[in-house]
Amino acid sequence: MPGLFMCGAWEADWPHRVGMDRLTIINDALLETGNNPLNFEYDGSPEWQAADSAYRRSVQYLISKHRWNFATTTVDLAGLLPKSPSALEHYNKAYALPADCLHVAGVYLNGYPLTQYEIVDHRVCCAYDAGVSVKYVRTPSPDQWPPMFIELLTMKVEAHLLRGLNEDTANAERRDARVDAELAEFRSQSDQEEGRRVILRSRTAARRRGLASRAPRFPYGS
């Protein structure tokens, strides 16, 4: 059966679509698992207690499993900290990561990938006192989520509800397996696309520096 994802296409199209709020996602999952929907949040019902926990856990799980385009942003790091927490002497400069950073997707120096750095105590430690930026993953608000992320999130909430409210472990495991399979498919396709973009960027940068690949020159007659 074909997967849910057309890699890149749905993420590229998501700004033109409307996201869904938490209550709608929760009610969709409750109905799909044969439970009563909620009229409003925090009503104290067993459905709300189970669904609230399921929703929070599912969001964090999915956001942490992939460097989603819609969940990443790049910012310049400013304001050197007085001391670097790194034990490595040459990483004597440090910047605080943004408060909403879940994990770092990349560190850059003047726009180019920086490979010599360390993350310690939610700080970027390196040897540079200017020009450092970071690409990181955070949890955006639901109105920024693309449709297929919402679909995966709903299925993940369903799995928690099946396990908690319905006590149906077998179907819960099947839901979990489907979510993980779709995530694996998307990551594979996304990595392939990113690999092609990296090669293109590398070749472009090399041409700008005059280092583009050329055919080797051999002595005449060899």
Residue with tokens 């077998």: 170
Output the pLDDT for position 19. Answer: 55
Residue 146, classed as helix, strand or coil, is coil
- Confirm whether pTM is higher than 0.75: no
Could you tell me which residue, 35 or 65, shows the higher pLDDT? 35
Rounded alpha-carbon distances, angstroms, from residue 165 to 11, 25, 54, 161, 169: 33, 17, 11, 5, 10
Please give the backbone phi and psi of residue 126, each rounded to the nearest 5 degrees, phi first. Answer: -155, -165
Give, in order, the Cα–Cα distances in Å from 155 to each of 63, 159, 203: 14, 6, 41
Instruction: Name the more confident of 78 and 155.
Output: 155
pLDDT digits (tens, 9 = 90+) for 135-180: 998 888 888 888 888 999 999 999 999 999 999 999 999 999 999 9
For residues 103 and 126, what is the distance between their CA atoms, to the nearest angstrom? Answer: 17
Of 3 and 85, more confident = 85
Residue 41: Cβ within 10 Å count = 13
What does 68-135 look like in DSSP terms, one character per residue?
-GGGEEEEE--S--SS---SSTT--EEEEPPTT-SEEEEEEETTEE--S-EEETTEEEES-SSSEEEE
| H-run or E-run covering 152 | helix 147-164
Using an 8 Å Cβ cutoff, are 214 and 187 in contact?
Answer: no
* Sheet containing strand 93-96, strands side by side: 93-96, 123-126, 118-120
